[in-house]
Structure 1
Amino acid sequence: MGFYFEKFEHRVPEAPIPHSPTRELLWQYFAVVALVIGAWYLTWRWTDSLNYDALWYALPLVLAETGAYIGLILFTINLWKVEDTPKKSPPYQLSEIVDYTPEDDRPISVDIFFPTYDEDPELVRLSIIDAKKIKYPKNITTNIYILDDGKREEMKKVSEEEGIFYISRNSNIGFKAGNLRNAMEQTSGDIIVICDADTRPFPTILEHTLGYFRDSNVAWVQTPQWFFDLPEGKPLPVFLEKYLSHSGRWLGKAIQSVMGEVRVGADPFVNDPKMFYDIIQRRRNWCSASFCCGAGSLHRREAVMEAALKSYAEQIEKEVQKTGQELQKLTGETEISPALYDTLQKQILHENEFTPYRFHVSEDIYTSIVLHADPERNWKSVLHPEVESKMLSPQDLLTWTIQRFKYAGGTLDIAKNDNPVFRKGMSLPQRFMYGTTVWSYLGGIWNTIFLFSPLIYLFFAIAPVEAYSTDFYIHILPFLILTEIAFMLGGWGVAGYVSKASYLSFFPVNLRAIWTVLKGEKIKFPVTPKDRQEGNFLHLIIPQLSVIVLTSLGILFAWSQFLAHDGDYTLSGVLINTFWGMNNILALSGIVYAALWKPDDA
């Protein structure tokens, strides 16, 4: 059968963004200046600008600004510098990647795992075929495994036809984490390569990454995920010509002559992960704080098992102590007898399963936290900057929403129950980096306030500040301008506005994740669909549409009132809230397009 992505097979990934010490120095300079000016602005906001006649509005907004400013500080720390882990030559013998001398030295063995559940077996076959093309300059042992949680005969048949190993199990306990645990019990590779069902590894993946494991403290290496099927979109002249005939084509060319190439419909779901891997994760290498993201990662078996054993022991001890304290309250005893303690321990051991990968919707980052927090081994992580595989992106808004909710809910659930910021064993920089990740998912709170705040002035002429005076502009404009310059330099090579707009559009999913975690509900494990889901997805963006419609009406209303000299509207107030509202509309328009988007051949 044919797949929609066959026409994209010729694509090759971009090279990593080249490191420029000069640009990095400029970024650091402007970032520091922007933060200082931002602190000055916030001090003024709290002490001299609040509208005390509308504190119900002024206080939430200034709190939102403060929350965003804290996020800005954390993001600045995250992006501070590029310090790639030095590459090393590919190892051959086991003795080259461990800190002891093996009794019987041998070639390194590598297991390549493809966990699958309900994906098309022919899609998985493509991943297997590419995995079989992996090359290595030395003769090491490489085994490929299909881990089929769907227990499908057709998947087993594909495995047999391709000459690889097939592993299934009787239950789906723990979902992907449980699937990986089951496979680890039946395999023995020194290094484990984790792939998704649609991950197509390049022939160079082992040759380019195994060298990092020469450092015996490197626990895992994450390679960037690259979606080779992102829609290219249409050039603006072609798009406008469809609706405005020849005049549209000329208009499009005129706009492009000023702005450069503009493609309408390119990557409608903002799936391009370059910002995340090449900027955010890569900038964490200097303090060994890049975390595992699953597909495209390589793990040292010893590290996974050792950390899991320690984590398991801690978990059992905590539960024994908790149960013991409850028994003491019931019985009035001051201490638990050794015999009862042993009985409790055995019972709890029986009730809790040992798993190398945590049974959690975000098992990848959870396992990373456990390894980074091991003070005895000082496990390191590496973000390898070059793309070493290709995979498929979400092709509809429903899939996109499922994926984003899992990311947000899973991370926040970890923050609530086992917060890495306060976990023993983490270095201070690692705490900051994990804190940045957690804080970013709380952004849905202040983003919601930023989106709805202009409406209060546009409809009711109530301002959050005493006045939109010269003093207001003197404080806010330098902060905004310097911040834009700083992060343009800090994120050089990546479309920054698109990422910010996507983050803002994310607010309903983010709020739902926050509320789900606060209620104590378990984040579910839905498998991200690999096929495009058909249907109308406008119902998924009702909050965003509401903001767009209300803001548009508010702008019209405010201007009509101002021009009619009706109400307390001022020119400055109407202008700044119109600009604010238009920026919100522009930022949210992308997700509206994504909800309506269909591939050209649909």
Structure 2
Amino acid sequence: MNKLLFSLLLLLLLPVALLVIITPLDSEKQYTFGLIGIATLFLLGLSKSKKVSVIMVVMSVLTSTRYIYWRATETLHFNSTIEAVLGIGLFVAELYVWVILLLGYLQTTWPLKRTIEPLPDDMSLWPTVDIYVPSYNESLDVVRDTVLAAQCIDYPKEKLKIYLLDDGKRDEFAVFAADAGVGYITRNDNRHAKAGNLNHALTLTKGELICIFDCDHVATRAFLQATVGSFLKEERLALLQTPHYFYSPDPFERNLSAARHVPNEGALFYGPVQQGNDNWNATFFCGSCAVIRRVALEEIGGFAVETVTEDAHTALKMQRLGWNSAFLALPLAAGLATERLGLHVIQRTRWARGMTQIFRVDNPLFGRGLSWPQRLCYLNAMLHFQYGLPRVIFLTAPMAYLLFNQNIIASSASMIFAYMLPHLLMSVYINSRMNGRYRYAFWGEIYETVMAFHLVIPTLLTLISPKHGKFNVTDKGGLLDNGFFDFNIVRPHVIVVVMMLAGIVAGITRAVAHNYFGVDPKVMALNIGWGCFSVLILLAAIAVAKETRQVRKTIRIDVALPAIVHYASGISVRTTTVDMSMGGVKLVTPDDRYQHDVIEEVEILLQSGAVCIPVSLIDATEKVIRLQFGEMPLSRRRELVRVVLARADAWITPPHPKDRPLHSLMGIVRCVFELFYHTWKERKARRRSARVNKGEAA
């Protein structure tokens, strides 16, 4: 009955929606219409109701569709071939953004906030699980703690087997696996890269469920108890994915001070997007931190090998056969983010190529087995990675008028502003309202601008030839002794900034003398404003390339745990940890005994037990003591992993504050200011140092 009423209401409202979209208005009436819409949106925004959010989404969809309709019917008139090429290119880019906006609303408006399904008390009913840790060229220092953390998972030992899948065929890995007491699997070739490695292991193991961790992802003790219950409740559940949480900073967080206080790049995907996918039974497999039912994998012939993103393609294949998927939005494992911007670009380029390959070889819009919401969720993911060319177009479009006097939007500045303002304001406001704890306004532009120029050619080539390219492994765990500016990564950004600044100067000159140059000062002002925004975003993207030093081999994690300091004299004193890493610990200074007594061990206390670790003093103050862990056997290191990385609540963090778009924009301005300020300070310091050295030499 409810569906019938909804269908009738939809039929009644469709003509109204059509009128809203296609009714032409002059600039004054369009301004009035847009301002009324914006005011209504802000008034509705005072309510926290989910139904109100849906109404606001509908308003945004209608307003944006009205803008696109106006652009298509009123503004595509050109005076030359070059204007037509540039103008139609800009319109196609806007059309792309409109499609992504609509698909994004579909994904994120109805997130499914799944909870943990408890396991039965009778452990004999629990399924057997094989944990795979695939590796190729990563160092043992990266892989070791992942394997040890897997051994700390709370699950019946007779039902759990752990395998190190070494595609690098390294003797030290075989020795480590034997010492740790886990399985070691290798193969004669590296065919199909990671997917081939996993498929080879499938033929040699027997667990009912397969749990996969990339070699840098350390699991918490609760991982299986939080995920396996869903497979017992739902027989057709093939996949349960959990978020990829990173305990090391990514290039944005390391190189931009403002980025340390905003949700990271992946937060939106591993929040509202995957929860929205889950609502439509379209959760993506992300290659790690997931559990998969073996029967489902065997039914599709194993992990997909046709593309370089075997993870998403594998999920798509299972869903085509009617298997279900789920997403549990709890960080139950954590890994290392890409350390440098260059590595970040390589990784994201592989993702873009892989999703483009799937679009070509197994397009979700075609073929059997998927519902339309599933098809659209996958389509959005694949189209998302085509943002390179549209983003470049948006960044450079103002130059057409500023430098070359090419009018690529055939309309007055007043009409453009009247139609564009409601479209942009509503989309920014609603996305901030719905996803503001996961992605702050304007930061998406930074993330995409960094990558845009690097994605254009790979995605276009892959669209033409989907077999183009190969699987690239992302290096993890590297160090950087000295900071540097990675000019090679941002060379195209710098070139565009220089050209845009030249265009802005030329535009201001022509606007001031508009009678002489015969230009409309309002159109010029619109393009100058657009150009200034492009420069701001480009400079913020360039700032990410200013790499900072990374000299710590292990990442410090803020955690307050009770501890006991054991002195050589036999005296023990209670205190609390401030932060910990796999290399050492910082403690609250309990007293001044450290000044005349040697600290031999520190004991970390947990509800599940305690671990005692040999230490040596690095330094101490009245407030904190810094201790370095000494050499320890594998069994002791496993206990340390359990304390530092594998605690059930290790990665549970408070949510970010709600987004404030203007505050977010000012954070980006701050990043640009710091780029120039810090560069000036460094050059000043180098000149001073050079003068000192010259004086000493004299």
2:443 to 486, 489, 498: 498
**1:227-242 equivalent positions in 2, closer than 5 A:** 227-230=246-249
Q: Compare 42-51 and 201-210 and name the one that shifted more.
A: 42-51
Equivalent residue runs for 1:164-563 within 5 Å: 164-214=182-232, 215-230=234-249, 263-264=257-258, 266=260, 272-308=265-301, 355-374=302-321, 378-494=322-438, 495-520=440-465, 521-532=467-478, 537-563=486-512
Distance 1:371-1:231 versus aligned 2 partners, 3 A rule: closer
Q: Give the deviation of 1:52 after TM superposition.
A: 2.5
- Contact 2:253–2:264 (Cα < 8 Å) also in 1: no
Segment drifting more, 547-556 vs 590-599? 590-599
Q: 1:413 to 1:356 in 2, by over 3 A?
A: closer
CA positional deviation for 1:223 = 0.5
After superposition, give the CA deviation of every residue in 1:362-400 in whole Å (9 maximum; x if it has no partner): 1101111110101xxx21111110000010001112211
The one-letter amino acid of 1:362's match is T
Deviates more, 1:52-61 or 1:478-487: 52-61
Alpha-carbon deviation of 1:85? 3.5
TM-score (norm 1): 0.78
Q: Helix, strand or coil: the match of 2:472?
A: coil
CA distance in 2, matches of 1:46, 1:275: 31
Q: Cα deviations across residues 443-493 of structure 1 (Å, max 9, x unaligned)?
A: 223222212210011113332233434332221111111111111112120
Percent of residue pairs bearing the same amino acid type: 25
For residues 35-65 of structure 1, give each alpha carbon's deviation from its aligned partner in whole angstroms, at most 9, with x where no partner exists. 1011211222222233432333322222221
- CA–CA separation in structure 2 for the residues paired with 1:106 and 1:289: 28
The separation in 1 between residues aligned to 2:49 and 2:448, in whole angstroms, is 25
1:593 counterpart residue number: 543
Structure 1 counterpart of 2:111, from 82, 86, 89: 82
In the alignment, structure 2 segments of 5+ residues that lack a partner are: 1-45, 553-698
Superposed displacement of residue 544, structure 1? 1.8
How far 1:601 moved relative to its partner? 4.4
Distance 1:433 1:84, change over 3 A: same
Deviation at 1:589, TM superposition (A): 2.5
| Residues 168-197 of structure 1: per-residue CA shift (max 9 Å, x gap) | 111111111111111111111111111111
1:567 to 505, 514, 517: 517
Which of residues 133, 143, 154 is equivalent to 1:135?
A: 154
Q: Partners of 1:273 and 1:233 in 2: how far apart?
A: 12
* Structure 2 residue 98 is matched with structure 1 residue 69: yes
Q: Greater CA deviation, 278-287 or 383-392?
A: 278-287
Q: Is the 8 A contact 2:251 2:338 kept in 1?
A: no
Give the equivalent residue in structure 2 for 1:43: 69
| 1:159 lines up with 2:177 in the alignment | yes
SS of residue paired to 2:436: coil
Would the alpha carbon gap of residues 356 and 49 (structure 1) be closer, same or farther in structure 2, given more than 3 Å must change? Answer: closer
Shift of 1:533: 7.4
Q: Runs of 4+ in structure 1 displaced over 4 angstroms?
A: 91-94, 231-235, 533-536
Q: Can you list the C-alpha shifts for 1:88-112, whole angstroms capped at 9, x where unaligned?
A: 2114779xxxxxxxxxx76521111
- Taking the aligned partners of 1:58 and 1:108, their CA distance within structure 2 comes to 59
Letter in structure 1 aligned against 2:358: I
Could you tell me how far 1:570 is from its partner in structure 2? 2.8
Write the deviation string for residues 328-358 of structure 1: whole angstroms up to 9, x where unpaired.
xxxxxxxxxxxxxxxxxxxxxxxxxxx4442
Instruction: Sort the Cα spacing of 1:118 and 1:547 in 2 relative to 1 into closer, same or farther, 3 A.
Output: same
Find the aligned partners of 2:540 and 2:297 in 1 and give their Cα distance.
40
Q: Per residue, is there more helix in 1 or in 2?
A: 1
Shift of the 395–139 alpha-carbon distance from structure 1 to 2, 3 Å rule, reads: closer
Residue 232 of structure 1: how far off its partner (Å): 10
- 1:267 shift after superposition: 8.7
2:12 aligned partner: none
> Are residues 164 and 139 of structure 1, via their aligned partners in 2, closer, same or farther at CA, if it must alter by over 3 Å?
closer
Assess if the C-alpha contact under 8 Å between 1:232 and 1:263 holds in 2. Answer: no
The change in CA–CA distance for 1:360 and 1:57 in structure 2 (over 3 A counts) is: closer
Match for 1:583 among 507, 530, 533? 533
Deviation at 1:401, TM superposition (A): 1.1
Distance in 1 separating the partners of 2:367 and 2:549: 45
Q: Provide closer, same or farther for how the CA distance between residues 412 and 210 of structure 1 changes in structure 2, counting only shifts above 3 A.
A: same
Q: Tell me the alpha carbon deviations over residues 194-248 of structure 1, each in whole angstroms, 9 at most, x when there is no partner.
A: 111101001110111111102011101111001111169999xxx9xxxxxxxxx
Aligned to 2:561: none
Contact 2:250 2:339 in 1 (8 A): no
Match of 2:588 in 1: none
Alpha-carbon distance in 2 for matches of 1:234, 1:511: 25
- Taking the aligned partners of 1:301 and 1:217, their CA distance within structure 2 comes to 12
Larger Rg: 2
How far residue 571 of structure 1 moved from its aligned partner, in angstroms, is 2.5
Per the alignment, residue 148 of structure 1 pairs with 166
State the shift of 1:121 in Å: 0.9
1:110 and 2:129 correspond:
yes
Distance apart, 1:28 and its partner CA: 2.0
User: How far is the alpha carbon of 1:284 from its aligned partner?
Assistant: 1.0
* Structure 1 residues without counterparts, runs of 5 or longer: 1-19, 95-104, 240-261, 309-354
Q: TM-score, normalised by structure 2?
A: 0.67
Going from structure 1 to structure 2, the CA distance change for 1:177 and 1:21 (only over 3 Å counts) comes to farther
- Distance in 2 (alpha carbons) for counterparts of 1:86 and 1:233: 31
Note if contact 1:220-1:381 (Cα within 8 Å) is conserved in structure 2. Answer: yes
Q: State the one-letter code of the partner of 2:66.
A: W
2:625 paired residue number: none
Q: Give the distance between the partners of 2:485 and 2:352, measured in 1 at CA.
A: 24
Conserved? CA contact 2:287–2:311, under 8 Å: yes
Q: CA deviation at 1:511?
A: 1.0
More strand by share: 2
State the shift of 1:551 in Å: 1.0
Report Cα offsets for 1:560-582 as digits up to 9, x if no partner: 22223442333322222122122
For 1:551 and 1:31, the matched residues in 2 are separated by: 34
Higher relative contact order (CA 8 A, sep 6+): 1
